[in-house]
Amino acid sequence: GVMALLETVRALRAGPPLANDVIVLITDEEGAKHNAGKTFRTIPMPKVHPFIDPLVYAVPVQLLAYHAAVEKGTDVDQPRNLAKSVTVE
């Protein structure tokens, strides 16, 4: 589960430092309480039916990825190394 993944990341962090490592956990309120203090940031989400979890959780993950890319200076509108079949109009 999530706890095992967090412990694995913790073990990796005990070794050589990962480049710019940050742990962000996106979970429901119960998971946020259970994992308090074990992550850099916790983004609490509403408890929803497991069938729609991917839909609800995809939005904050996409926003996080977008803002991380912008902060890094990556041009999100001109991705590199895409196959020409994808980029040709």
Torsion of CA 12, 15, 16, 17, to 10 degrees: 50
Catalytic (active site) residue 84 = yes
Helix (H) or strand (E) holding 42: strand 41-45
> How many Å separate Cα 55 from the centre of its chain?
15
Catalytic residue among 38, 47, 72, 84: 84
Provide the annotated active-site residues. Answer: 84
